[in-house]
Structure 1
Amino acid sequence: MTIGWQRPNAGAFDPARQSAALMTLDRIAPALFVLLWSSGWVAAKYGGIYSDPLTFLVVRYITAALLFAAVCWVAGVRWPKGRSAIVHAMISGAFLHGFYLGTVWWAIAHGVPAALSGIIAALQPLMTALAAPYFIGERLSPLQKSGICLGFAGVAIAVVPKLLGTGQSEIPVFPVIMNVIGMVSVTYGTIYQKQHLQTGDLRAIATLQYVGAAAVTLPFALALEPFRVELSFGFIALLLWSVVGISMGAILLLLYLLRRGQVSRAAALIYLVPPLASVQAAIIFGEELTLPMILGTLVVIAGVYLANRKQRQAAPAE
């Protein structure tokens, strides 16, 4: 199975060394993905300073696609063969990035509290676990189901107290609905990725995914926003981090995790994002880090451990 970032070796092929390298990457990839992906919440909060949300995402997607294309050209990456493979990659990108981030960033910019948005995002593993048996025949063990439920409980512990401090009349209904649509979109995109993109170079797939994301986001940005961009050092720094750290680094790790393990286990990592984002917001923006957030984070970690425990005991053969 091609995983997408193996370089040709002029010398003798060493299966043991390759297996050891993959095992090491399997250990660090989940933690690194969560750290990078959770920083997107901070980026979303900063993004409104320099541009409108959908406008910023269009610039981000186009930049990511161009950088990935350059990487593919330098590395001599093989592009997917056949129109169907290209279309599958673009469709998955439209759901994983375009509709998901577009609705979430738009919702946050239009008044959805970060705590509520975190709860909605945390529903994805539950929806994925419910949908996976019907779409890809994937079954979860009782221990994994317990881990998923425990993870949701941890997210609730972390963010519900903060949500209860906000008057219900102040929470806009339509942006909340859009936030829910985004969660549904990324759930479908995750399953679609597992269904149709099990082979091929991940760098080429990611390039096409961002083309698909830009294609669906651009019309909405032109229709709903004045396409405002304030060029400054802050905008460029934020764009670079959003592209290199999140759109390239985090997404390659997510695609790798989806290919190496069950889709429901990969989705369970999303549970760690809201608590970790709260910690980052407390450090960067000075937001309050409460005891429920700390306790919720510990419960979430326990839930993710249970959801991924079976995968560690029986790693997929290569």
Structure 2
Amino acid sequence: MNTPFSPSGSLTAPDWGKLAPALFVLLWSTGFIGGKLGLPHAEPLTFLLWRMALVAVVLLALSVWQKAPWPSSWGTVGHIAVAGVLVHGVYLGGVFGALKQGMPAGSVALIVGLQPLLTALVAGPLLGERITGRQWLGFALGLAGVSAVVWEKLSLNIGGPLGIGLSVAALLGISIGTLYQKRYCADMDLRAGTTIQYAATGTVLAVLAPLLETMRVDWTADFVFALVWLCLVLSVGAIFLLFALIRRGAASRVASLFYMVPPVTALMAWALFGEKLGPLALGGMVVTAAGVALVLRRT
């Protein structure tokens, strides 16, 4: 009889391929929830500095314990560090900064949700990926679905110019970082590589945070929970999944998963905080799911 588990108790390769995208979307979507809980008690760069430092220590211990292979050249270390600063520093710094400026989470998610289209536009020339007509249709449906969710939930209350600028910076950071990761360091060991990335990002934040913020933290239960959740679930679990998916598939197909984040985040906010979620938003989620399915389908 066929079993979904291998003799060692781990999921087999086919099951991993089916479950990983959905699990990534679920985990990644909790980022806005964690930010909403933690940001009232710390400034954005300070919050991220604590997050990067704690995760770097955890992953360093894991890498040493499991004897993970480290990069063989400083050039490779540099590429890994650049990708990390883009994915972790620029993206998260932009998102947290925009939320701190008072932008609604859904508005930030809508701007960052343009990533799949931006990635698709440049993935061909940079990585030699071919985007089919069916996939372009999927991208368009995904964007339409995300727009419907945010339109009903927030009436497109985009916010001020600084918040918009930080959101665009986050969009560029995650888009360029994903492509850079795919091209220059897709073969890195996830344990050692992400340790380097978090350490590099933490170093940058250690310089910027004292210059731009007071670095004051209110160590409330909400903040501690948000910090632990974002460190372990987002910065370890979701990022490992993201890089594993990038390694296994085309960058444009992986990027399409981010279309599902705003709808799933809206569902979580509705369940946890009672935020509005009406028929238009629900319809948008269905359209978004259809668009992602078109992009991810192989045949």
Q: TM-score, normalising length from structure 1?
A: 0.88
Task: Give, in angstroms, the shift of residue 165 of structure 1.
Answer: 6.4
Question: Which residue identity does 1:243 align to in structure 2?
Answer: C
Residue 68 of structure 1 is matched in structure 2 by 59
- The alignment status of 1:174 with 2:165, answered yes or no, reads no
Is the 8 Å Cα contact of residues 98 and 212 (structure 1) preserved in structure 2? no
The answer to whether residue 77 in structure 2 is matched with residue 86 in structure 1 is: yes
Q: Which residue of 2 aligns with 1:258?
A: 246
Provide the secondary structure at the position in 2 that maps to 1:133. helix
Q: Deviation string for 1:188-207 (max 9, x for gaps)?
A: 00000000112131111111
Deviation at 1:234, TM superposition (A): 2.7
Equivalent-residue separation in structure 2 for 1:111 and 1:50 (angstroms) = 14
Deviation at 1:292, TM superposition (A): 1.4
- Counterpart of 1:153 in structure 2 is 144
Shift of 1:236: 2.1
Deviation at 1:220, TM superposition (A): 2.5
Q: CA deviation at 1:20?
A: 7.5
- How far is 1:26 from its partner? 1.1
More deviation in 217-226 or 134-143? Answer: 217-226
Alignment of 1:6-25 (within 5 A): 21-25=12-16
Q: Considering only aligned residues, what root-mean-square deviation do their CA atoms show, in Å?
A: 1.9
Identical counterparts, % of pairs: 37
Cα deviation 1:102-122 (Å, max 9, x = unaligned): 011001110212222121011
Match of 1:190 among 172, 178, 184: 178
TM-score (norm 2): 0.94
C-alpha separation between the residues in 1 aligned to 2:263 and 2:208? 30
Structure 2 distance, partners of 1:268, 1:34, is 10
Aligned pair partner of 2:189 in 178, 186, 201: 201
State the distance in 2 between where 1:111 and 1:189 align. 26
C-alpha contact (below 8 Å) 1:99/1:213 kept by paired residues: no
- Matches of 2:19 and 2:205 in 1, distance apart? 32
In the TM superposition, what is the alpha-carbon distance from 1:223 to its structure 2 partner? 1.7
Q: Which of 103, 112, 124 matches 2:115? A: 124
In the alignment, is the contact (CA less than 8 A) between 1:99 and 1:217 conserved in 2?
no
The range that moved more, 113-122 or 148-157, is: 113-122
Q: Work out whether residues 99 and 216 of structure 1, in 8 Å CA contact, stay in contact via their aligned partners in 2.
A: no
Q: How far apart in 2 are the matches of 1:233 and 1:179?
A: 28
**Matches of 2:188 and 2:105, distance apart in 1:** 36
Is 1:228 the counterpart of 2:216? The answer is yes
Distance 1:102 1:306 in 2: 31
